[in-house]
């Protein structure tokens, strides 16, 4: 971490208790900070309940940066660097690894984590239901695809499998067969939960109310980058999802790498943390320092909330 970055974080930490970084409409007290399933903790890597009996770290690694056609930044970078990054995440306490068929990251995640206890980390993956992106031959019925995922990830089960990139409010009508197949996988013990990743406010609002959804990916940051709908609309829908017992996984927290300045990233992280509608925060890390920075920044927000409450 650079000296400028260290100094900025120290300065921010000293003044965080008095800072007014977000509107009062999205701020809550420490006692109200999490849904009942996750009591308040200032530990940025606290173990949290996602859904059902699935627990994981509050911070996760989103492996799909620039993902397309079984490829992502993680698979395109130098192999040794990628392995080092994954190990750095694990060694730092990150226990949620978010994959997808589209990203092609199953192999490198499974190979790197092969000597780690399987019950020490959570793996999620996603089915790609849209035209293009993946060859049709690679994705027959969902049960067959999930079994391929298990072989690629060298595991007997997946903690979560979602239907990828929902944009329409009526996605459940279009994805009925996928939903039925994933329910079969859950009944057979191949997966522990299912859900959707949402890329529009309408699809998120549907997911928040749909009883089939165990966990939902949302897009949320202070700048509205790579988002649909307002910040307030996304917070309200995400809160409804939590009230309905669903796990909420936040992506685009720092705008998919578009927030170049530390202050901008810090502001977005603080805004989202204070909204308190997220169980797990995932970022598409490309460098080890980004892991360290996210851990530190989330920790600063949580400690500031606690200090404000005590003050």
Poorest-pLDDT segment among 68-72, 120-124, 146-150, 255-259: 68-72
Quick one: pLDDT at residue 15? 35
| pLDDT 10s digits, 179-209 | 999 999 999 999 999 999 999 999 999 999 9
Q: Are 139 and 148 in contact (CB under 8 A)?
A: no
Which fold does the domain 47-310 belong to in CATH? TIM Barrel (3.20.20)
| pLDDT 10s digits, 205-216 | 999 999 999 999
What's the CA gap between 85 and 285, in Å, rounded? 8
- For 58, 103, 256, 300, the CA distances from 122, given in Å and listed in that order, are 11, 17, 22, 25
pTM of the predicted model as reported, rounded to 2 decimal places: 0.88
Burial 121-157, CB ≥16 within 10 A → b, else e: bbbbbbbbbeeebbeeeebeebeebbeebbebbebeb
Quick one: average pLDDT of 235-256? Answer: 96
Answer yes or no: is pLDDT of 300 > 60. Answer: yes
Closest CA to 198 of 225, 171, 179: 171
Quick one: pLDDT at residue 36? 54
Quick one: average pLDDT of 134-153? Answer: 89
Answer yes or no: is pLDDT of 44 > 50. Answer: yes
Closest CA to 59 of 309, 264, 272: 272
What letter would DSSP give residue 17?
G
3-state SS, residue 216: strand
Structure-token pair, residue 288 = 């080890």
Tell me the β-bridge partners of 249. 217, 280
What's the CA gap between 109 and 154, in Å, rounded? 10
Quick one: pLDDT at residue 221? 97
Query: What is the residue extent of each domain of the chain?
Result: 47-310
What's the CA gap between 159 and 125, in Å, rounded? 9
Average predicted confidence (pLDDT) for the chain: 89
- C-alpha 112 chain-centroid distance: 20
Share of the chain above pLDDT 70, in %: 88
Answer yes or no: is pLDDT of 8 > 60. Answer: no
Quick one: average pLDDT of 240-258? Answer: 95
């Amino acid at each position: 971490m650079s000296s400028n970055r260290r100094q900025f974080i120290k300065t921010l930490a000293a003044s965080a208790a008095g800072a007014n970084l977000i509107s009062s409409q999205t701020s809550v007290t420490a006692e109200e900070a999490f849904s009942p399933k996750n009591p308040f903790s200032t530990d940025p890597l606290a173990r949290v309940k996602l859904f059902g009996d699935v627990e994981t770290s509050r911070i996760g690694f989103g492996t799909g940066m620039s993902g397309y056609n079984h490829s992502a930044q993680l698979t395109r970078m130098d192999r040794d660097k990628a392995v080092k990054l994954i190990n750095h995440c694990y060694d730092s306490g990150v226990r949620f690894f978010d994959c997808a068929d589209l990203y092609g990251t199953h192999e490198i995640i499974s190979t790197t984590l092969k000597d780690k206890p399987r019950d020490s980390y959570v793996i999620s993956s996603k089915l790609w239901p849209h035209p293009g992106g993946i060859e049709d031959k690679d994705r027959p019925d969902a049960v067959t695809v999930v079994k391929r995922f298990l072989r690629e990830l060298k595991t007997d089960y997946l903690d979560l499998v979602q239907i990828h990139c929902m944009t329409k409010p009526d996605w459940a009508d279009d994805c009925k067969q996928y939903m039925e197949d994933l329910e079969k996988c859950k009944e057979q013990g191949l997966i522990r939960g299912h859900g959707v990743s949402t890329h529009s406010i309408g699809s998120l609002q549907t997911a928040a109310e749909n009883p089939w959804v165990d966990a939902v990916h949302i897009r949320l940051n202070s700048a509205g980058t790579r988002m649909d709908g307002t910040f307030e609309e996304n917070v309200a829908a995400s809160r409804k999802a939590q009230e309905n017992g669903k796990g909420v996984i936040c992506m685009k927290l720092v705008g998919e790498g578009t927030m170049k300045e530390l202050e901008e990233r810090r502001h977005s992280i603080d805004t989202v943390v204070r909204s308190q509608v997220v169980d797990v925060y995932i970022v598409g890390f490309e460098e080890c320092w980004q892991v360290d920075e996210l851990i530190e920044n989330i920790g600063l927000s949580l400690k500031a909330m606690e200090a404000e409450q005590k003050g």
